[in-house]
Structure 1
Amino acid sequence: MSTAPKAQSPFKPARRIASLPVPATIAMAERVRQLRAEGRDVISLAIGQPDFPSPAVALEGAVREVREGHTGYPPLAGQKPLREAVQAKFRRDNGLDFPLAHIMVANGGKQLIFNAFMASVEDGDEIVVPAPYWVSYPLIAGMFGGKAVEVPCYEADGFRPRAEALRAAMNERTKWLVLNFPNNPTGAILERSDLEAIAAVLRDFPNVMVMSDEIYEHLTFDGRKPVSLLNVAPDLAGRVLIVNGVSKAYAMTGWRVGFAAGPEPLIKAMIRAQGNATSGICTLAQGGAQAALQSPMEGVERMRAVYQERRDKVVPRLRAMKGLSCAMPEGAFYAFPGMKALKGHLTAGGRTIDSDVAFTEALLEEAHLATVPGSAFGQADHFRLSFAASDKELEEACARLERFTASLRPASLRPASHQMPR
Structure 2
Amino acid sequence: MIRISKLAESIKPSATLAAGAKARQLKAAGITVYDFSLGEPDFNTPEHICAAAAEAARRGQTHYTPTSGTPEVKNAICRWYQRFHNLAIEPENVIVSNGAKHSIHNALAATVGPGDEVLIPSPYWVSYSDLVLMTGAKPVLLETRPETGFKLTPEQLRSALTPRTRLLMINSPCNPTGTVYTRQELEQLVDTLLNHSDAAILSDEIYEQLTYGNAQPTCIATLRPELRQRTITISGASKSYAMTGWRMGWAIAPGHVVKAMDAIQSQETSCPSSISQAALVAALDGPQECVAHMRAEFAARRELTCRLLRQIPHVRLHEPEGAFYAFFDVTAYFHKHYGGLWVSDSLSFCTALLQQAHVNLVPGVAFGAEGYVRMSFATSREVITAGLARLAEWLQTAQER
State the TM-score, normalizing by the size of structure 1.
Answer: 0.93
Query: Contact 1:321/1:406 (CA < 8 Å) preserved in 2?
Result: no
Of 356, 359, 378, 2:346 maps to 356
Matched length: 401
Aligned to 2:370: 380
Matches within 5 A, 1:14-413: 14-347=5-338, 349-411=339-401
State the alpha-carbon separation in 2 of the partners of residues 53 and 38 from structure 1.
Answer: 25
Shift, 1:14, TM fit: 1.2
**AA paired with 1:296?**
P
What amino acid sits opposite 2:201 in the alignment?
Answer: V
Q: Hey, what's the Cα distance between the residues in 1 that align with 2:30 and 2:47?
A: 34
Distance 1:175 1:13 in 2: 29
Query: Displacement, 1:42?
Result: 1.3
Letter in 2 for 1:358: S
Q: Quick check: 34-43 or 211-220, which moved more?
A: 34-43
Once structures 1 and 2 are overlaid, which stretch shifts more, 32-41 or 381-390?
32-41
| Deviations, residues 366-410 of structure 1 (Å, cap 9, x unaligned) | 110011001100111000010000111111111111111222233
- SS of the aligned residue for 1:379 comes to coil
Runs of 4+ in 1 over 4 A off after TM superposition: none
RMSD: 1.1
> What is the alpha-carbon distance in structure 1 between the residues aligned to residue 336 and residue 225 of structure 2?
51
> What is the CA–CA distance in structure 2 between the aligned matches of 1:144 and 1:339, rounded to whole Å?
34
Once the 2 structures are TM-superposed, how far is the Cα of residue 162 of structure 1 from its aligned partner? 1.2
Provide the secondary structure at the position in 2 that maps to 1:148: strand
Deviation sequence 1:66-116 (CA, Å, 0-9, x none): 122211111011011110000001111111111110011000001111111
| Structure 2 residue matching 1:336: 3-state secondary structure | strand
Aligned to 2:162, the other structure's residue is in SS state coil
Q: 2:93 is matched by which residue type in structure 1? A: H
Whole-angstrom CA distance in 2 between matches of 1:233 and 1:408:
52
Q: In 1, Cα distance between the equivalents of 2:280 and 2:156?
A: 38
SS for the counterpart of 1:129 is strand
Structure 1 residue 154: Cα displacement:
1.3
CA–CA distance in structure 2, aligned partners of residues 409 and 202 of structure 1: 49
The CA deviation at 1:244 is 0.4
The answer to whether the 8 Å contact 2:304/2:381 transfers is no
Secondary structure, counterpart of 1:337 in structure 2:
strand
For residue 296 of structure 1, report the CA deviation from its aligned partner: 2.1
Q: Deviations over 1:291-335 (max 9, x none)?
A: 011112211011001011011011121122122110110010000
Gaps of 5+ in 1: 1-8, 412-422
Q: Secondary structure at the match of 1:410?
A: coil
- What's the % identity of the aligned pairs? 36
Residue 245 of structure 2 aligns with an amino acid whose one-letter code is G
State which drifts further: 102-111 or 65-74.
65-74
1:3 maps to what in 2?
Answer: none
Q: Which residue identity lines up with residue 400 of structure 2 in the other structure?
A: P
> CA offsets, 1:116-137, max 9 Å, x none?
1111221121110001111111
Question: Considering only CA atoms, is the larger Rg found in Structure 1 or Structure 2?
Answer: 1
TM-score after normalising by structure 2: 0.98
Q: Which amino acid aligns with 2:136?
A: G
